Each structure stands twice: as structure tokens, then as C-alpha cells.
């Protein structure tokens, strides 16, 4: 079975957040939204649902819950129960709900940096102190968690916000490191809030490991947030699910939605079910295409973009580009003005990340090449 990831689908005029942010002469390569058509099976399921004329408040069906349970077992050998799932309109509401429900005044929240901006800012939404622990770049070009610094940061912490696979680094935590991080949280009594929205997007044969799957003890202290939105490109459906295996924690977490987090779109529920039950072949083809895009971008950075450094992401469709050797005051602003490429500014991910930009390579190869060429031309004109 073949799938088309090369066709360019114009998105101006569709209300796309990605394509509406900048003037039409700017190529947007910022927000984590892929420029690929959604799998036919998902579109067919949505059309079928729309044959029924009512679109009222909806709950997850038993079929959907069973599909999630089966998917988690099939992909990660992680056994969960249907009643351990809580459906939400997004991962961001999920980690904010968790902080609101479980972190007490006076406790801090630990966040590794660089990191996804809404996750970094979430503690401030609830007046909580944030302790940032920077990753360390090792000689092999991968990012490690400095365990001594993490243990120190966790003292007095009520929770740790974990991103795995990591945004923006593309890091896929190996088992040994993930186990060490989780154990450190257990030792200090800190809840683990694990954002695993990119779980299905791992390269080079890697396999995502859900934090809560490490042990029953860790599962009892973990809230896992997942979604089909990134892997199947249905983020606009605003649907995710939390896996909370401890009954008392699940009750407290679900209670925190009151007055803040409403029910989930009926179309989002249908799209998620279709993705998990019919989207497997499409996803496997997508992974191959994305890995090819990653390698194409990496080669271009090494051969055509002097002064920019990139370490190959192990997952996601996001590249973290180090522009510090270019000597630019603001790489994001430079590329927006001179290359007409809209990237994500490094300062969104950390206060010391002003010399970085994030590039979304989840797009047709021709669009990726256009972005690379624009960057190359802007550097040559300097």
C-alpha cells in the first residue's frame, strides 16, 4: 500500500494557525502541525459520523476505550484498563489540571530545559515556583539528564513535568535514564506528569517507553498524557487522553477539570478511534518519510548552512538548530526578515536559548527544500 506525502496542499484561507501567523510570502515552519493530508480512513470515519445530523456533547465509547487499551499494549506492552482513561480536549489542559490538583502552595515544579513553552509556563499559571534543569549535551551529540542536578531540584518539589519524546530536542528517553528520572521523583515524593504526545514518532528503530510502564510504583505516581493528534496530524480535533492508574489520583485529577476543562468534540473522538484502528499502515509510511526528511535536513545543515549546528532528533518532526556560530543578535528575527521563513524562536523554550531556532520538518520534501534554500540564500547574502 502506498501513501502520498509529496503533494502540496495549499492551506491559506483555511483558518490554519500555522499558515495564518505570517504574511503569505513567509514559509511557516514553526508550530508542530504537519503539512500532510490526513489518512483516508480517518476522513471516511468523519464523513460517516456526519451522516448523523446531531453533534451534541459526547463521551468516549467503549469501542474507543478498548481501542486505546489495545494500542497501548500493542505498541508498548503496557497494560492499562479502560476505566483508567480520561478523555480531554488537549494535553495542555491536562498538565495544567494536574498541577492545579496536586501541587500545593510552597511546592515547586521541576522542568527540564529547553522545553515546550506551554509546559514551561504552566507552573506560573498556578502561582507555583519553577525549577529548571538544563539538559547536558554529551560527546555523542545527544542530550542527557544531569541526575545530581535533578535530584537537587526535586527537593521540595510537588511535581516534575516530563516531555518524552522531547520537544524541541527530539530526544527519546532510553530505559535506563527514564528509570533514573522516575526513581528520583519517587524518592522525593514528586508526581510525574508525563507529556507523551509524540510517543508514536520515533526513528531508527527506537521504541517509546511510557514512564508509567516502568513499574507499578511509578505508575501510581504518574499521570500520562497522550494523543493521536501529532502522529496522525489531527491536532485540530482537540482530543487527548490521560492514563491515570491509581484510583485516588484519577478521582482527584478528574475533579480538577470542573469549570475549566469541558467535554471532548464528538468528531475528535471519532478521528481518534479511526486513527488507532485503521491508521497503522499510514503511520508506518509516515515514519519512513519523516526519517527521510530528518536525514535530508541534517545533510543540508552540514553541507549548505555553515554556522548552523543540528543534532539528529531521535523522534518527533522537530529540529533544534544551534545558530550561535553565526554571530546573529536574533536568529529567529534574521531568518524571518531575510529568508522569509517563520521558525520558532529559541527563547520560547528557555531563557538561555536565544541563539537557537526550532524547525518543523513535517512537510512534503519539496516544501522542506524550499525552506532550506531560503535559509541558505539568506546566509549567502549576509
Beta carbons of 240 and 233 less than 8 angstroms apart: no
With cut-offs at 50, 70 and 90, classify the pLDDT of residue 334.
very high
Query: Strand 356-360 relative to strand 136-137: parallel, antiparallel, unpaired?
Result: unpaired
d(CA 50, CA 40): 15
Q: Using one digit for the tens of pLDDT, what is the confidence trace for 5-46?
A: 999 999 999 999 999 999 999 999 999 999 999 999 999 999
**pLDDT exceeds 80 at position 197:** yes
In angstroms, the Cα distances linking 226 to 47, 210, 231, 246 are 25, 10, 11, 17
Domains for the chain: give ranges and CATH numbers: 27-40+278-381 (3.90.1150.10), 54-277 (3.40.640.10)
Q: Using one digit for the tens of pLDDT, what is the confidence trace for 217-254?
A: 999 999 999 999 999 999 999 999 999 999 999 999 99
Calculate mean pLDDT across residues 289-302: 98
Q: Using one digit for the tens of pLDDT, what is the confidence trace for 258-286?
A: 888 889 999 999 999 999 999 999 999 99
Overall pTM surpassing 0.95 (yes/no)? yes
Amino acid at each position: 500500500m502506498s501513501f502520498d506525502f509529496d503533494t502540496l496542499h495549499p492551506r491559506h484561507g483555511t483558518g490554519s494557525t500555522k499558515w495564518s501567523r505570517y504574511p503569505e510570502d513567509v514559509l511557516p515552519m514553526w508550530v508542530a502541525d504537519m503539512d500532510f493530508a490526513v489518512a483516508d480512513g480517518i476522513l471516511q470515519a468523519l464523513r460517516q459520523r456526519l451522516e448523523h445530523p446531531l453533534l451534541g456533547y459526547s463521551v468516549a465509547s467503549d469501542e474507543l476505550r478498548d481501542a486505546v487499551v489495545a494500542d497501548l499494549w500493542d505498541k508498548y506492552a503496557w497494560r492499562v484498563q479502560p476505566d483508567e482513561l480520561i478523555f480531554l480536549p488537549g494535553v495542555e489542559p491536562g498538565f495544567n489540571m494536574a498541577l492545579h490538583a496536586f501541587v500545593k502552595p510552597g511546592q515547586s515544579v521541576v522542568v527540564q530545559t529547553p522545553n515546550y513553552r506551554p509546559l514551561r509556563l504552566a507552573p506560573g499559571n498556578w502561582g507555583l515556583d519553577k525549577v529548571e534543569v538544563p539538559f547536558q549535551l554529551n560527546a555523542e551529540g545527544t542530550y542527557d539528564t544531569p541526575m545530581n542536578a535533578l535530584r537537587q531540584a526535586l527537593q521540595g518539589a510537588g511535581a516534575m513535568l516530563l516531555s518524552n519524546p522531547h520537544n524541541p530536542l527530539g530526544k527519546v528517553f532510553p530505559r535506563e535514564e527514564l528509570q533514573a528520572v522516575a526513581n528520583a521523583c519517587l524518592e522525593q515524593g514528586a508526581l510525574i506528569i508525563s507529556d507523551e504526545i509524540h510517543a508514536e514518532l520515533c526513528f531508527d528503530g527506537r521504541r517509546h517507553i511510557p514512564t508509567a510502564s516502568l513499574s507499578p510504583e511509578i505508575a501510581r505516581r504518574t499521570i500520562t498524557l497522550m494523543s493521536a493528534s501529532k502522529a496522525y496530524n489531527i491536532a485540530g480535533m482537540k482530543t487527548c487522553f490521560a492514563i491515570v492508574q491509581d484510583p485516588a489520583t484519577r478521582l482527584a485529577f478528574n475533579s480538577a477539570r470542573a469549570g475549566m476543562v469541558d467535554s471532548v468534540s464528538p468528531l475528535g473522538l471519532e478521528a481518534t478511534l479511526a486513527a488507532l484502528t485503521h491508521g497503522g499502515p499510514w503511520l508506518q509510511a509516515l515514519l519512513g518519510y519523516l526519517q527521510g526528511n530528518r536525514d535530508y535536513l541534517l545533510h543540508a545543515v552540514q553541507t549548505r548552512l555553515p554556522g548552523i549546528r543540528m543534532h539528529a532528533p531521535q523522534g518527533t518532526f522537530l529540529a533544534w538548530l544551534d545558530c550561535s556560530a553565526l554571530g546573529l543578535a536574533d536568529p529567529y528575527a534574521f531568518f524571518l526578515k531575510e529568508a522569509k521563513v517563520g521558525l520558532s524562536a529559541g527563547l520560547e523554550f528557555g531563557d538561555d536559548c536565544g541563539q537557537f531556532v526550532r524547525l518543523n520538518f513535517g512537510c512534503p520534501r519539496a516544501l522542506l527544500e524550499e525552506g532550506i534554500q531560503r535559509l541558505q540564500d539568506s546566509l549567502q547574502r549576509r
